[in-house]
Structure 1
């Protein structure tokens, strides 16, 4: 026979993990949770199937190939644009030189020189004041 002293108190911590009695509804949920935890290695992480990994790798490879193709095509286009821009700048410089020569040929100084060679007389400035008598 065991006798316990009423003066001695036992320090017993309460059970923090309360186990509920199985109900019909909660037992079906528990069964699903147990099946999910058994099928995956860890309770919270889903198990990844090999065919998904293979399919994901192929998809990433295809997108990577498309990206690299796009990058190389863009670089080729950039080179073409730079070549065309350099050609345009050369043609623009040539056009500006020819335009300057043409402007000199038809400019007033050239016209006055040619007129003097042909014997025309310079009339002087045209800002004489005209006086009208009434």
Structure 2
């Protein structure tokens, strides 16, 4: 709640609108509602701007070109997506084949297979290599 001092004067701007006052004899013309008024009524015409045929044709052509460009972009994007999906599937197949071959190679050169081949050729297993090497000074 605001409290204002009664001693403070407010500057009030004058009314800048000019209002015509009715004539004193009361014989102004009849108004549509048969009431007398001191105000002059201004009739404003609200009109829809007229569209010329060349503007409509030009707008249709522009909208058609934009629609055609959009549809072309959509179809190109779909083709590109199909190509990416095909390449991804091919990559996954190649990766699976690579993993399978790598596992087979690792088994061929792994220690268990090497020990097995060595025993077959007559080598003797030396056991774990946990012997301490002593250096004489």
Q: Give the shorter-chain TM-score range.
A: 0.5 to 0.7
Matched pairs, number: 102
Where does residue 67 of structure 1 map in the other structure? 70
Query: Which of 105, 108, 113 is 2:111 aligned to?
Result: 108
Alpha-carbon distance in 1 for matches of 2:135, 2:92:
57
Return the TM-score normalized by structure 2: 0.64
The Cα offsets for residues 19-70 of structure 1, whole Å up to 9 and x where unpaired, read as: xxxxxxxxxxxxxxxxxx7xxx71xx53321111110101101110111111
Alpha-carbon distance in 1 for matches of 2:112, 2:41:
108
Return the TM-score normalized by structure 1: 0.66
Instruction: Between the two structures, name the one with larger relative contact order (CA 8 Å, sep ≥ 6).
Output: 2
More helix by share: 1
Any residues of structure 2 matched to 1:18-57 within 5 Å, and which? 42=47, 45-57=48-60
Alpha-carbon distance in 2 for matches of 1:14, 1:131:
127
Alpha-carbon distance in 2 for matches of 1:132, 1:105:
38
Listed as ranges, the gaps of 5+ residues in structure 1 are 5-11, 19-36
